[in-house]
Amino acid sequence: MPSCPTWAALLLLASNLSAQPVIRVDVSLVHVLATARNRQGQLVGSLSKDDFEIFDNGARQEIAVFERRSEQPLSVALLVDVSGSTAKDIKYETDSAAKFLRALLHEGNPEDRVALYSFDDTVRLVEDYSHNYTLLEAQLRKMHGSAGTSLYDAIWLAATEGLEARGGRKAMVIVSDGGETTSVKNSHQALAAAQLADVVMYPVIDMPITNDAGRNIGGENALTFMAQGTGGRTFMPATAAEFDRAFEAIINDLRTSYFIGFYPHGVPLTKDRFHKLELRAKVPGLQVSARNGYYGDAIQNTGSSETRMSAEPLVKKK
């Protein structure tokens, strides 16, 4: 049995440790889908692992997984706004979306999958994750405009009941005029769901050719904020040709992305479960787009930590 001085030393050590900041080592892989652009806005797809550095709550992390032009399977949730306000443009929206699906599924990884959602005042899973372009395209052509707009509910549902459970790379493409009238969820809940599911968001906002000074732009601003927070970007086409170019740009982003992963180590915790991520390119003049955080460990009032990681095991290539 240890002597009394030994027990005293142990108690002193425990007291000192309890006074230190709580640091948690987590074995879950946190992954980030990123793109890099030069000063001219052109995608740069030739960078190496050593060209990046990543920080979790300010603590530098070691990059454990790095893939250029990743072959990780891609899951895309395509959300199409069929509310009454989009009725006049639904044909060229679905025409462009069909071209996007054809290019994505015919030229990409055979393991890539797309789920099709429609939303007005109700969110509907029209077709679950599939690689069958013919089936998805046929369902897309059946869409028509009606009723109100549950934009945030659609994002929340597609993230929590579809994308969150899927592995590999994940993206959400939202075709909408940005209107929001009937959601139960708010924009913050929608964004949190997308971040928990590790989703990169690409809003394609149907813009009126003539600017309506009385138009509600709250949904547009929220979608832009969500895209920035998840590492995606926003498109605002006003014509059929601009819709085609927007979907082509999304395809290029997804094909030129970097799949980067790290195992959190030595990360200082706060009472906020949201960890701030910063991915930087060491090469001068490059701008990196990547999600700005994930949900992980946090200090609770008891001093312990609790987690719901927005991270998952790496999907191995076959």
For residues 289 and 180, membership in a common domain is answered with: no
Structure tokens at 149: 């707009």
- Are residues 134 and 222 both part of a single domain? yes
Q: The CATH number of the domain where 273 resides is what? A: 2.60.40
pLDDT at 23 over 70: no
Q: Tell whether 91 and 235 lie within a shared domain.
A: yes
In a domain, 250, yes or no: yes
Residues 117, 126: Cα–Cα separation, whole Å: 5
Residue 304: pLDDT band with limits 50, 70, 90: low
Query: Using one digit for the tens of pLDDT, what is the confidence trace for 150-208?
Result: 999 999 999 999 999 999 999 999 999 898 999 999 999 999 999 999 999 999 998 76
Q: Are the beta carbons of 171 and 194 closer than 8 angstroms? A: no
Cα 228 to Cα 124, 202, 275, 288, 291, distances in angstroms: 26, 9, 16, 11, 7
One domain for residues 300 and 268: yes
Residue with the bigger pLDDT between 266 and 212: it is 266
- Res. 13: pLDDT tops 70: no
Strands, E assignment, 57-106: 59-61, 63-68, 74-81
Which residues span the domain enclosing 141? 74-255
CATH number at residue 235: 3.40.50.410
Please count the structural domains in the chain: 2
Q: Is the per-residue pLDDT at 3 higher than 80? A: no
- 251 and 263 belong to one structural domain: no
Residue tagged 């891609």 (tokens): 74
Residue 318 or residue 150, greater confidence: 150
